[in-house]
A and B are shown apart, each in its own frame.
Chain A
Amino acid sequence: MRFSKDHEWVRVEGGIATVGISVYAQEQLGDVVFVELPAVGRQVKQGDEAAVVESVKAASEVYAPVSGEVTEVNAALADTPALVNEDAEGKGWFMKIRLADAKEVDGLMDAAAYKKHTEGQH
């Protein structure tokens, strides 16, 4: 699993990146009450606003950590947005992106580097 500086995670299998927000990010947001997901088929570039996650208090953008075509979104979040809190790095995934450039993944942080990144934010 790799992480972006904006707190998205990426897990790559067979050229498809599953994307979500980190456990740290969901802790900062608090109770997630709504998730707006991109249309399947949309082309996103690394750093584009790809989704919106809303807590009771505020709406926050979720950026595409990698470029490519959105092939699937997590339909379960429509009825159960709390999955993002309960299992951020598992059942609370947001979308799958067919990688346009696998090298982008190498530029993301590994778990140890990401942990350091979040500790720097306190």
Chain B
Amino acid sequence: MADPGSLKTTPLNALHRSLGAKMVPFAGYDMPVQYPMGILGEHLHTRSQAGLFDVSHMGQARIVGSDAAKQLETLVPGDYQGLGLGRTRYSLLLDDKAGILDDLMATNRGDHLFVVVNASNKEADLAHMRARLKGVGIEYLEDRALMALQGPAAKTVMAKLSPGSTDMVFLSIRDLKIAGIDCLATRSGYTGEDGWEISVAARDAEALARALLAEPEVKPIGLGARDSLRLEAGLCLHGNDIDPTTTPIEADLAWTIGKRRREEGGFPGHAIVMRQLKDGATRKRVGIKPEDKAPARGHTPVADLAGATIGEITSGGFGPSVGGPVAMGYVAVQHAQPGTSIQTIVRGTLRPAKVVKMPFVQPNYHRG
């Protein structure tokens, strides 16, 4: 375990401790993995009410300049020049072999792009952008916290604390006052539920979190439930489900590649992506539903019915809302069709499973 003294802390660290969180090292930060409610309860609470997540360890940055969208497009396959003002889009930082260096959300703020990247990769991502992007400024927003309010009651809470905010649609951004505090909020998240991700000055973070937690619908939620929620929602975790050895096509993320970008190219790995779009990749990320009760976790081998290895689980565990095990992973394309019977090899024992469509739970996004 890392020396706790060497870990970084978020502006909400003292609050987590006062709420009785169990703290663990994650991506170099001292983070709450769960609160006294426990992962199962926190997960179900988020699906039925609303949960507040501290995601301040993630990297927030601005790409500033009139060419920001055009420049970002040299690193990602997403269409950012065609992204409307105030709209957010998911994309992938690719290397020259179309390997996924990281995934990110970038929002058109007019004179700049507001970008959120993963905690584990933020230094590398910023260095990559600084080395490759021309004629734009890269500002790392070190003095801002980020928290997510997620769940069907998020809109009830926001209607009360930020009147007028609930007409925002999924994947849009707005400057808001929430409980009187200046925030920058996108209607988005990582749980499959409706909700907001809220960027706030570090000095205001605890006051904002306390105001949100004072609402009866809202409970604090740790990284444990964040992981089970995103897994049920079929969302990738970089480092598990996508990484530099996987391409967007293998990862079943072709939907992130804009039509114009496919035609024009100009992003790393374009030729490989186009070849895989045309000929197919040899493997594909799929949902995997174990048909008995044993969770099949990351790195569990996947076999065909004859017992020959055809792939590997990249994320798996117990899905509290599903009420049983859920997983995702890569299988050889001939086995990737939903409904295909496969097996997992859990601690040496073959167990029945099926390839299924994701998500495992119906998303509850507010598309307006």
Contact = CB atoms under 8 A, between A and B. Distances in A.
A23 interface: no
A31 B39 contact: yes
B293 A56 contact: no
A56 B297 contact: no
Contact of A56 (B294, B320, B347): B320
Contacts of A30: 34, 38-40, 224
A34 B40 contact: no
A52 to B, nearest CB: 7
Contacts, number: 43
Interface in B191-229: 224-225, 227-228
B317 interface: yes
Contact of B347 (A31, A36, A57, A78): A36
A72 interface: no
B39 A57 contact: yes
A55 interface: yes
Interface in B313-368: 317-318, 320, 325, 347
Contacts of B347: 36, 52
What size tier do the contact residues of chain B reach? Answer: 20 to 34
A57 B224 CA distance: 6
B147 interface: no
B351 to A, nearest CB: 10
8 contacts: A30-B34, A31-B38, A31-B41, A33-B318, A57-B33, A57-B227, A57-B317, A78-B293
A85 to B, nearest CB: 9
B293 A55 contact: no
B187 interface: no
Nearest to B227: A57
A54 interface: yes
Interface in A28-60: 30-31, 33-34, 36, 52, 54-59
Q: Which of B40, B297, B347 has most A Cβ within 10 Å?
A: B40
B318 A34 contact: yes
A49 to B, nearest CB: 9
B294 A34 contact: yes
Contacts of B294: 34, 36, 54
A29 B290 CA distance: 22
A79 to B, nearest CB: 9
Contact of B297 (A31, A36, A59): A59
